[in-house]
Amino acid sequence: MHIITINNLKGVNVMKEMKIIYKKVEDIIPYENNPRNNDSAVEYVANSIKEFGFKNPIIIDKDNIIVAGHTRLKAAEKLGLTEVPCIMADDLSEEQIKAFRIADNKVSEIATWDLEKLEIELEDLDFDMSEFGFDNFNFNEENTQNITDNKELDLEDYEDDKFDAQCPKCGFHFNIKENK
């Protein structure tokens, strides 16, 4: 086994040799408090698995409870798969597993598209990318402008007086119009 440690990480093993194991779909247990609403992504993940294979294993704990991969499990069920590849996160504490569940989903939200490079990549593909969630992804100037513009809305232009919001850092809920 190769273990890489980095001095600033207080001895945390950042690279444990991963073993892919195959588990029966019915033996994998969704985490009961999964905070992600992923049903709208299942079709796209299923399409990706059909087209490219199951390339991203489900991460489970020692009790077969999903740490990361709820959407992949639902896609596997949709496809009628009986077994799926898994990685067991048996090197993490319960607290680390809980934090990883949240962090794994959150960090993907932070990434953004370089639209120029994406356009180049999509132009060369002979795939129907709508199968993977790229519906109506046009790069004309008007659409690109809408994607990249950040401008303030005038709340008075809207009749609905309920503008509930949540701070992305602390989770505090507030009403934008009431706090104006």
81: left (phi over 0), alpha (psi -120 to 50) or beta: beta
3 state SS of 122 = helix
* Rounded distance between C-alpha atoms, residue 128 and residue 3, angstroms: 41
**What residues does each domain of the chain span?**
9-110, 115-175
- More confidently predicted of 155 and 104: 104
Q: What is the pTM of this model?
A: 0.67
Query: What pLDDT sits at residue 137?
Result: 56
In 10 A of CB 24, how many CB atoms?
Answer: 11
pLDDT tens, 10-19?
555 566 677 8
Please give the pLDDT value at position 77. Answer: 97
pLDDT band at 7 (very low <50, low <70, confident <90, very high): very low
Q: Are 4 and 14 a contacting pair, CB within 8 Å?
A: yes
- The neighbouring-strand residues paired with 29 are 65
Domain 9-110 - what CATH class? alpha beta
- Segment 41-67 shows an average pLDDT of 95
Instruction: Give me 144's structure tokens.
Output: 């690109």
| Mean of pLDDT values over 19-43 | 94
Query: Could you give the CA distance from residue 23 to residue 176 in angstroms, rounded to a whole number?
Result: 47
